A and B are shown apart, each in its own frame.
Chain A
Amino acid sequence: MAGHELEPVIGLEIHVQLRTATKMFCGCALGFGEPPNTRTCPVCLGLPGALPVANAEAIHYGLMIGMALDSELAPVSTFHRKNYFYPDLPKGYQISQFDLPLCSGGKLGKVNIHRVHLEEDAAKLNHAGASGRIEGADSSIVDFNRGGTPLAEIVTEPELRSAEQVGEWLRLLRTTLRTLGVSDVNMEEGSLRCDANISLRPTGSDQLGTKTELKNMNSFRFIERGIRAEVERQRALIEEGESVTQETLHFDPKTESITSLRSKEEAHDYRYFPEPDLPPVVITEAMLARAAAELPELPAAREQRYIDELSLSPESARLFAWRAELADYFDAVRASEASLEPQQAANWVTELQGRLGDQEAVDSNVTAASLAKLASMVASATINQGGAKQVLDQLVEHGGEPEAIVAAEGLEAVGGADELAPIVAEALDANPELTERLRGGDMKPIGVIVGEVMKQTRGRADGKEVTALVRQQLGLS
């Protein structure tokens, strides 16, 4: 079948480390880069006789996530054991949830949520030796500081259709979680981790193709690149008439290569069964009320508020609301110069973000106050658009105060008939041939005259004003 008839079907499994004071099933404080195995106890080391006790705060965070994702919250939720052997799993099973997860269903943006459940994180393995993996390692050592950190696993329905869509949606999810305050949601540090289930199918079909699972991608860029690479790999296989094998894959961002971690045949039988050490979690009205009371304004509400109250364009409203840091920066810009038109402020924030790539505006050299100042200088025609963009370039590069840069670079706008009229007249005089054509009604050369004026003013004039003056001086208007 031809390539253009295939569409990707992508579902995500996102692991979020919850920012509780203590671990999921013991009293150890969460690890933040302490010396190895210093945040441990009999429970999170899986010592004989130790028993888990569920962390009430993690359940509270889980309920907040469920509410934010519009999920159905279980009245009674149970923990299960997921059994498999691995050195980072001290008990030989992970306490997770199975048939009665804390949250079922739900929706974020346009993507339906399948479920949200709570579980414990594994410990961290370090492999000595060239392979960097446990196979062929000279030795492997385990740091249990991370083991037992509370995780919320969020599973989407397979409704995403492209790597770009995945990236955009994940930013919305990250913003939602960050707004809730339940997680640091830092992909590089592993507090937000994403696996993607990917398959291809004929566009419009309701059948699902054989899927592969792409594991543990730890940045937005790697996720998008990994998914793109896997979609292309599957597309090539199908177009060559071969079939996709169900397997778990690893994307290496350095080489852009995809390697198999294990096939379906090697998949574990996890032998899930109800965790006998933990009674079912009964969700009380009081727990629900507390979670509801602590819900902050969520991205969808913020988006709507920007449209309703600030008359932002839907594009700007969504861009900001789905990126909480950017929205906070935008709010700071507006707070700094109360007279600014919100959309103008929005346009300058967007302009700035366009120059920053992956860096957040709040982390850049440009303070909200200086961007606000710049925007208000444009609004008051102290400086024109072109000049302002030059100032912005300098702010991004070196930081500083916009007024100082304008003064130092002589970028104040040249405006008004008094200043501009002689320069326009000079430009017309210098181009008699073009002037004649303009007088004759052939307006094509007007751009050259305006360009000449801009050159003389080093871009500080306003193009519209110059055009108006040309017409005026030639008696055309």
Chain B
Amino acid sequence: MSEELQALSAADAAAAIAKGDLGRGELFEHYRARAASDELNAFTWVAESMPDSVDGPLGGVPIAVKDLFCTEGIPSQAGSKILAGYCPPYTATAVANLEAAGAPILGKTNQDEFAMGSSNENSAYGPVQNPWDRSRVPGGSSGGSAAAVAAGLAPWALGTDTGGSIRQPAALCGIVGLKPTYGAVSRYGMIAFASSLDSAGPLTRNVTDAALFYRHLVGRDSADATSVSFPEPIALPTSERLDGITLAVPAALVDGDGIEAGVRDSFEAALESARGLGATVVSCEIPSAPYALSAYYVIAPAEASSNLARFDGVRYGLRVDATNLDAMYTETRHDGFGDEVKRRILIGTYALSSGYYDAYYGRAQRVRTVVASELSAIFQTADFIVTPTSPTVAFGLGERTADPLAMYLSDLFTIPMSLAGTPAISIPSGLSDGLPVGLQICGPAFSENRILGAAHALERAIGFDGSSAWSAL
């Protein structure tokens, strides 16, 4: 029975529960037991029993939730020592929406501290192992969520994407990850990294699960002034063809150095599949792309340096007692934050300093505007922009920790969409030497239904099977 249970996608499981073929408690306990015996360090907290779940369209299919979402009475530590043991008094809107649709919380998942990282090695709670190869990283920052879904420890998971933190780990773990249009999902209760970039979205086994999950995630929230109501209902995708669809490939970006041959091969094969489904593939240019990474690494740290100021030892989380106020602040933040977080706070503080603001933050914002207008121009003639999600497959644990700049390059293909606030999905395009490769499909704002449709058609044509990564039953 457990093999059959495990083989069900989340959407299938929800349907089986709705029909009465499957008990909610049975499904929950199956995944609870698997999450509890997690050997990948994907979970930071696992529920002890099924919470009182409500009837709803998600039928009781449990969710794994990235640690940085506030969950009432449940540890919400954002991968940081400074929030060790912190249990918030309220639940994030995104999580509350899923719970209200009938998805109980299975556990909280590991992540890079405050979502800063591309390998999940920046977690105060230890690195996460990639289920495809345990000597490799799962990607980040939603590494725990991606590894949990890929290893079959959770039916699906909630993550966040600031510069690629859903898409890149989804790619490295061989699952589907959707980064929404900025504002489509409420950020209320998400422990902020970079407010103008943070987006919450699903990590799932397949595209249909992503659509079902996303349907219950979107919506205007009066508690988030930057949230907007999604202009149409999210449909479950049915497309099997790509006739009349134009895919634009940013040639200079994709042909650049640093992209692995195996990744390029898998990407080319995916384009071939798309042509086979009736799509037209054209070349395009994002001239500002080389500057996008730099702009991102100014804007995100600038906002983070301010967002993380509240971790001061006064009201919650870690406090290191000292003889005076300044020493208490200094010691608390010295002990509570990890190296990457400190690095970004320093970069961000510098970028916002009087006399440097225009040269860094001001200029980065102008780059951001240019990136957005270049993407928008491409969408005048093409339906989607497609790229590999990550230039490389999963790299070895510890391989890039000494070189932050090499680590930052992991987000080369995902950052332009983050800066533009446009939606993008990563789906598996195949394997390279036994490791998953991701394909990114990006469309204009609020084009999620069309993106999910195209992703669904390609998913069927590619026929990727991730079940070999499942942990032993």
Residues of A whose CB lies within 8 Å of any CB of B are: 42, 45-54, 81, 83, 85, 87, 90-93, 134-135, 142, 269, 271-273, 276-279
Q: Is the CB of B353 within 8 A of A269?
A: yes
List of B residues within 8 angstroms of A90 by Cβ: 310, 314-315
Instruction: Pick the contact of B195: A92, A142, A277 (CB < 8 A).
Output: A277
Q: Please name 16 further chain A to chain B contacts, defined as beta carbons within 8 Å, in addition to the given A85-B312, A91-B309, A271-B357, sorted by A numbering.
A: A47-B90, A48-B70, A48-B78, A48-B86, A48-B192, A48-B311, A48-B316, A83-B352, A93-B309, A269-B353, A271-B306, A271-B352, A276-B196, A277-B195, A277-B226, A279-B226
Q: A92-B310, A92-B312 are in contact. Are A51 and B191 (CB under 8 A)?
A: no
The 16 sampled A-B contact pairs (Cβ below 8 Å) are A45-B315, A47-B89, A48-B86, A51-B223, A52-B225, A53-B225, A54-B225, A81-B306, A83-B352, A87-B325, A92-B309, A93-B309, A142-B314, A273-B352, A276-B194, A278-B225
B76 CB within 8 Å of chain A: yes
List of B residues within 8 angstroms of A278 by Cβ: 225-226
B354 CB within 8 Å of chain A: yes
B190 CB within 8 Å of chain A: yes
With the chains together, A278 CA to B190 CA distance in Å? 16
Find the B residue at minimum CB distance from A81. B306
Distance (whole angstroms) from the CB of A469 to the closest CB of chain B: 81
B361 CB within 8 Å of chain A: yes
Distance (whole angstroms) from the CB of A118 to the closest CB of chain B: 14
Distance (whole angstroms) from the CB of A133 to the closest CB of chain B: 11
List of B residues within 8 angstroms of A269 by Cβ: 353-354
Find the A residue at minimum CB distance from B357. A273
List of B residues within 8 angstroms of A271 by Cβ: 305-306, 349, 352-354, 357
Q: Is the CB of B310 within 8 A of A51?
A: no
Q: Is the CB of A92 within 8 A of B306?
A: yes
Q: Is the CB of A46 within 8 A of B361?
A: no
Q: Is the CB of B315 within 8 A of A46?
A: yes
With the chains together, A52 CA to B224 CA distance in Å? 7
Residues of B whose CB lies within 8 Å of any CB of A are: 68-70, 76, 78, 83, 86, 88-90, 92, 187-192, 194-196, 222-226, 302-303, 305-306, 308-312, 314-316, 324-325, 329, 349, 352-354, 357, 361
With the chains together, A436 CA to B469 CA distance in Å? 132
Q: Is the CB of A48 within 8 A of B306?
A: no
Distance (whole angstroms) from the CB of B76 to the closest CB of chain A: 7
Q: Is the CB of A49 within 8 A of B88?
A: yes
Q: Is the CB of B188 within 8 A of A47?
A: no
Distance (whole angstroms) from the CB of A430 to the closest CB of chain B: 83
List of A residues within 8 angstroms of B83 by Cβ: 48
Distance (whole angstroms) from the CB of B311 to the closest CB of chain A: 8
Q: Is the CB of A91 within 8 A of B188?
A: no
List of A residues within 8 angstroms of B349 by Cβ: 271
Q: Is the CB of B315 within 8 A of A51?
A: no
Q: Is the CB of A91 within 8 A of B310?
A: yes
Q: A81-B306, A273-B302 are in contact. Are A51 and B312 (CB under 8 A)?
A: no
Distance (whole angstroms) from the CB of A239 to the closest CB of chain B: 35
Instruction: Pick the contact of A50: B78, B188, B303, B329 (CB < 8 A).
Output: B188
Q: A269-B354, A271-B353, A273-B352 are in contact. Are A51 and B225 (CB under 8 A)?
A: yes
Q: Is the CB of B70 within 8 A of A85?
A: no
Distance (whole angstroms) from the CB of A137 to the closest CB of chain B: 9
With the chains together, A291 CA to B309 CA distance in Å? 36
List of A residues within 8 angstroms of B314 by Cβ: 87, 90, 142
Interface centre among A91, A134, A135 (most CB of B within 10 A): A91
Q: Is the CB of B222 within 8 A of A53?
A: yes
Interface centre among A134, A269, A277 (most CB of B within 10 A): A277
Q: Is the CB of A273 within 8 A of B315?
A: no
List of A residues within 8 angstroms of B191 by Cβ: 48-49
Find the B residue at minimum CB distance from A140. B325
Distance (whole angstroms) from the CB of B116 to the closest CB of chain A: 15
With the chains together, A52 CA to B303 CA distance in Å? 15
List of B residues within 8 angstroms of A91 by Cβ: 309-310
Q: Is the CB of B90 within 8 A of A83?
A: no
With the chains together, A81 CA to B192 CA distance in Å? 15
Q: Is the CB of A49 within 8 A of B189?
A: yes
Q: Is the CB of A49 within 8 A of B192?
A: yes
Interface centre among B92, B187, B311, B315 (most CB of A within 10 A): B315
